[in-house]
Amino acid sequence: MQRDASIHPDHYVTTSKMPDMPVQAFAAEGVPGEVTTWHNHPTGQLFHVVRGSLAIDTEVGTFFAPPERAVWLPAGLHHQTRYLAETEVRYMYFGREHLERLPQTPRVLQVTTLLRALILEFMSYPRREIVDGPQARIVGVILDQLKMLPAAPLQLPMPKEARMRQLCERILSCPAEVPLLAVAAESCAMSVRSFERRVKAETGLSYRNWCHQAKLFRALELLSGGGSVSEVSHLLGYEGPSAFVSTFRKAFGVTPGRYFLSDPGI
C-alpha cells in the first residue's frame, strides 16, 4: 500500500513554514506494507521507532530501524519509508538554526533511556511556533544526545552507477542467489578488478561484504515482518537455522529473538 507524502502525518513539515520553526514533533503509526512516495523535507528529521520496524530508502542507501532505534536524515535528502510491521513512530523535525549542530549524513542510532524520556517530555508540551523556556532546554539536551550517540550498523549503502545499482537491487530482491564476482562484473561491463574497485569506492565495502550485508539486511526485514528463524534461514540460502543464528550474532552481537526486544541489551 503506497501512501502519498502529501497525506502522510509528516505532510505538515513538507508544506508549512517549518524551516522557520526551531523544532516540531509528531506521533504516528504505520501498517505492514505501507510505503510513502519519495519526498524530502527542508528540515532535519528523526524517526524514533517505539514499536514495530521500518526501512527508509534514500539516495545513498537503505536504513533499517527496529524498536528503540532512530533514523536521522539531514535536510533535503530524498527518501521513502516502508513500514515492515505494525509500527509506532515519533517524528522530530529540526529547523535551520539547529542543522549545523546535527549530523550531516544519515544514520541509525540506538535510542537511550535518556533520549527516549527527553522526546516524550518535549512532546508533552503544547505545539507552538517558538520553542522557549523548559522546551528550549530539553531541545538542547536532545541535540547533544544526537551528536554523541554512535551510529548502529544498520545501513546498506547503494552505488550510484546505474548498472551497479541495478545489480545491487536484483541481489536485494533475491539475496539467496548472489552472482559470482566474475558474473557480477560482466553484468556491469567491467573487468573483475575494475568492478571490485568501483564497488569499494561507491559503497565502502568489498563486493563480498556488500552481499553479506545485503543478506543480513534482508533477514532483518523478514524477521521484523514475522518470519521465523527457520523460514528466513531457508529463504536466504543459509545451511540451516543454526548457521543463520551464528552469522546474525557475529554481525549484531545478539540472537535474532533478542535483537527485536525494545531493550536488546546492546
Question: What are the pLDDT digits (tens) for 122-164?
Answer: 888 876 645 667 888 888 899 999 988 888 777 888 888 899 9
Residue indicated by cell numbers 517505539: 50
Low-confidence stretches of the chain (pLDDT < 70) are 1-21, 127-132, 260-266
pLDDT number for residue 254: 79
| CATH code, domain carrying 130 | 2.60.120.810
Element (H, E) at 108: strand 107-110
Q: What is the domain range of residue 82?
A: 2-148
| 83-97 residues labelled b (16+ CB within 10 A) or e (exposed) | bbbebebbbbbbbee
Domain check: are 7 and 135 in the same one? Answer: yes
Taking a C-beta distance cutoff of 8 angstroms, is the pair 37, 70 a contact? no
pLDDT number for residue 1: 60
Domain check: are 127 and 22 in the same one? Answer: yes
| Residue 61 burial by Cβ neighbours in a 10 Å radius (0-12, 13-18, 19+) | middle
**On the CB side of 33, how many CA atoms lie within 13 Å of its CA?**
1
Domain check: are 58 and 141 in the same one? Answer: yes
264 is a domain residue: no
Domain check: are 190 and 67 in the same one? Answer: no
C-alpha to C-alpha distance for 265 and 112, rounded to whole angstroms = 11
Domain check: are 170 and 115 in the same one? Answer: no
pLDDT number for residue 19: 43
